[in-house]
Amino acid sequence: MADRHWSDDELVSRLYEVGPEGAHLKECEHCAQRWRRLLAAREQRLRAPEVSEEFLAEQRRAIYRRLDRAPARSPSWPLAPALALAVMLLLAVVLSRPAPEPEASLASSDAQFFTEVYSVVQSTEPRAAGPLHGLFEVQQ
């Protein structure tokens, strides 16, 4: 490791104490300088930002001003639960009505029904061929 410089990944790994160990940072001035810059950048980012009390107080005052200008709550909000309950009751009444009675079918008789079914079953011609006959009929 003495013949080459540490990569940025190796330095960052060393920063998080999972990287290479050894005396390379003591022997190599170039890597030691990069290491010190990395530590300085870390320290700078860990410091809390400097904010004055006056700045924070002005922010607080601005928030209070905006809250004072905020529109008042509408008076309908206390009625919202009652309105929701009324809508649910209306839906319950509408959806719980019994279904209408089915209308009587127009089938004339069971005998006619069975006759039609029997003729369809006994026919050797497929049902889809019926409209094709109309194309080839001879008109008189």
Among 53, 56, 52, 36, residue whose Cα is nearest residue 44: 36
d(CA 7, CA 94): 74
* Amino acid 107: pLDDT: 54
For residue 31, is it within any domain?
yes
Q: Is residue 49 part of a domain?
A: yes
Model pLDDT, residue 24: 86
Q: Return the pLDDT at 80.
A: 84
Within-domain flag for 5: yes
Q: Would residue 82 count as lying in a domain?
A: no
Residue 139 lies in a domain: no
Q: Is residue 60 part of a domain?
A: yes
Number of folded domains in the chain? Answer: 1
Cα–Cα distance, 60 to 68 (Å, whole number): 12
Per-residue pLDDT of the chain (140 residues; tens, 9 = 90+): 457 888 888 888 888 888 888 788 888 899 999 999 999 999 988 888 888 999 999 999 999 999 888 776 666 677 888 889 999 999 999 888 887 777 766 656 778 888 888 887 887 777 788 788 778 766 66
Q: What is the predicted pLDDT for the residue at 132?
A: 81
Q: What is the pLDDT of residue 34?
A: 92
Question: Is 97 within a domain?
Answer: no
Question: Residue 39: inside a domain, yes or no?
Answer: yes
Which of 17, 35, 18, 14 has its CA nearest to residue 26? 35
Instruction: Print the domain residue range for 53.
Output: 1-69
Token readout for 30 is 């170039």
